[in-house]
Chains A and B, each alone.
Chain A
Amino acid sequence: MQYTVLEPLRWQDRPARISVEEADGRLNAYYQITVPWQVSRMCLGRPVEEIPRILPILSPAHHIVSAMTLDRLFQVEPPPLAVNMRQALISTQYFVHHMRKLYFLFCSEIDPFREYHIRGNDSGKPFVSSRVLDAMMHGVALAEEAATILGGRPEHPVSVVPGGVGRFLKPPHYERLAEIAEQSLKRAMEAARAFHERFVNGSEISTGILELHLEPVASLALSRDMSHILVTDEAGNEKAPIPPESVFETVGLHFEPWTYQPFAYFLEKDWKGPEEGMERFFVVGSLARLNTGRPYDHSLAETERQLLLSTLGSPPHFSLIAAFWSLVTELIDSAESMKEQFTQEKLTGPAIRSVPVTMGERGFASMESPEGFIAHRYEVNDQGLVQSIQVLDAASENNAVRCAVARAVIEASRSGTVERDRTKAMIEVSLLPF
């Protein structure tokens, strides 16, 4: 079988490529992750309290959900200060993740490492100036500094432990954090402005490279109070919410021999690949949170969300412009969260951790990571060694959506709406918010 291979794909967390197969007028796009990801094998037999130090290899949020899983396993409640510090760390993770994605979007048509940064797009207008790009990455650096203060290290945090966090903050820390929060909000608003200038002019959308519409599909996201998993179908109707603890019985992982990453899908339907329809699949992440979402608590973010809805219409949305705009909205929200959380009042307290006195047999926790819904479940033996581990990282296991996106872009390029040599670039940009 002959395959056209598009590689390497930019900005993917793990090396990936698209193999395209055309036979008898039928087009198949295979999104292949080409490196094995054996987190199960890395964790089996490990002392369970070490898992928060191992799983952040998937993404920083896994550090926190792992500690939450251990809270349940060891039957402890973290004290309020620890809860605040964890929340504060999560806000920085949203900020860094979303800002980076927007940075990738803005420099998708230029080489950010050339000395000249300003380049016109097709219509001759400057895309985004180097000053803005630098400011965005400076924002990332500041948020990473905050993540280091709260988490020990930016990309692979270490400080969140079963029952709490590892250390108290001192005045220089929360003073610096307050400064960072101010700056972060400015940066978020600048990025939002740049996004508007490029893609949203009043009520007109100039999509440019964001032409793609994904085939309508369900959306899945954890509710704000983390009590249930919200699911809306492809038409936007709410389906029965899922209790988080039963997610592993509701969402399954299917393995195909042509990619090292499994496919997350609804178990109530039998497995069929994405080329045969998307009814067993779902999106997660900022777009899903938009589609299942409720209003934001923070004013600037909520204003942005209202603008999105009045411009694009009511949810559900499956366009790239909506996906990126939801990233922008959440970026603002994360910066406003940082402002709210990075205060002396919230970051001081009498206790940072509760030491467990007992150990159960299993633990479960889930949360919305910046990328999307994640869940962990561990079982231990009487020595506290991991006997079985299940990890759902719905965003990275969202292969079906990625295959569908790639196929849609390639079909568009074949029908002549997209220049041929931009196909790979368009696929990369289209995959970015998913």
Chain B
Amino acid sequence: MTQFEPKIVAFLCNWCSYVAADAAGVARLVQKPNVRVIRVFCSGMVDPGYVLKAFASGADAVLVAGCHPGDCHYISGNIKAMRRSFLLHKLLTDLGVEKERFRLEWIAASEGPRYATVVNEMTEQIRKLGPFRPASGSKPERSELTCRKEG
């Protein structure tokens, strides 16, 4: 039986996390091959629409990785990403996307090993969760709400 291979879309910022990913590769750190990388100039330019589009296009999980707060090449781009993440998480949850499928991480250029760890961890986590199916979008809590047949 073939194992489920998650598809993870990773938006990596050009100045920090992309470099870390590159370094992880050069250092031949063992990484799961499930990540599709999209290089962006700043984590702050990742519009929530891109995240939704990734899911709508078949991604099972999305990772957005940027510089640590204070280290952003554009000063506060990563802060914008962080501010969006709270509402984005909520919206995704409302639409039936499990929390673990969207992650915002800070990964510095020197943190190649950390990048590899995040990727591997995430892959296994998503493998356990299974493929993302845009189903009815039900929130887990909603199934407890009574719903009389009303016709």
Would A and B touch once assembled, by the CB under 8 A criterion? yes
- Give chain A's interface residues, CB within 8 Å of chain B: 33, 36-41, 44-45, 255, 259-262, 387-388
Supplied contacts A37-B150, A44-B147, 8 more A-B pairs, CB within 8 Å:
A37-B151, A40-B147, A40-B148, A45-B145, A255-B151, A261-B151, A262-B150, A388-B146
Q: List 28 A-B contacts (CB under 8 A).
A: A33-B151, A36-B151, A37-B150, A37-B151, A38-B150, A38-B151, A39-B150, A40-B147, A40-B148, A40-B150, A41-B147, A41-B150, A44-B142, A44-B145, A44-B147, A45-B139, A45-B142, A45-B145, A255-B149, A255-B151, A259-B151, A260-B151, A261-B151, A262-B150, A262-B151, A387-B145, A388-B145, A388-B146
Q: CB-CB < 8 A to B150: which residues of A?
A: 37-41, 262
Chain B's closest residue to A256 (CB) is: B151
**Chain A residues closer than 8 Å to B148, beta-carbon distance:** 40
* Contact residues in A for B147 (Cβ distance below 8 Å): 40-41, 44
Q: Give Cα A259–Cα B150 distance, bound, in whole angstroms.
A: 10
Alpha-carbon gap, A259 to B147, bound state (A): 18
For B142, the chain A residues whose CB sits under 8 A away are 44-45
* A260 cross-chain contacts in B, Cβ below 8 A: 151
**Docked CA distance A39–B151 (Å):** 9
Interface size of B by CB at 8 A reads: 9
A27 to B146 CA separation, bound complex (whole angstroms): 38
Q: How far is the CA of A352 from the CA of B149 in the complex (A)?
A: 38
Task: For chain B, residues 133 to 151, give those with C-beta under 8 angstroms from any C-beta of chain A.
Answer: 139, 142, 145-151
Closest to B148 in A: A40
CB distance from B138 to the nearest CB of A (A): 10
Bound-complex Cα distance A41 to B151 (A): 10
Kindly report which residue of chain B lies nearest to residue A391, judged by CB atoms: B150
Complex CA distance for A261 and B150, rounded to whole angstroms: 7
Q: How far is the CA of A149 from the CA of B122 in the complex (A)?
A: 55
Q: When chains A and B are docked, how far (Å) is the Cα of A39 from the Cα of B150?
A: 8
Chain A nearest CB from B19 CB (Å) reads: 43
Q: A397 — nearest CB in chain B belongs to which residue? A: B151
- Within 110-151 of B, Cβ neighbours of A (below 8 Å) are at 139, 142, 145-151
Which residue on chain A has the smallest CB distance to residue B149? A255
Report chain B residues within 8 Å CB of A36. Answer: 151
Q: Considering the chains assembled together, what is the distance between the CA atoms of A33 and B148 in angstroms?
A: 18
Nearest-Cβ distance from residue A175 to partner chain B, whole angstroms: 44
A34→B146 CA distance, assembly (Å): 24
For residue A261, which residues in chain B have a CB less than 8 angstroms away from its CB?
A: 151
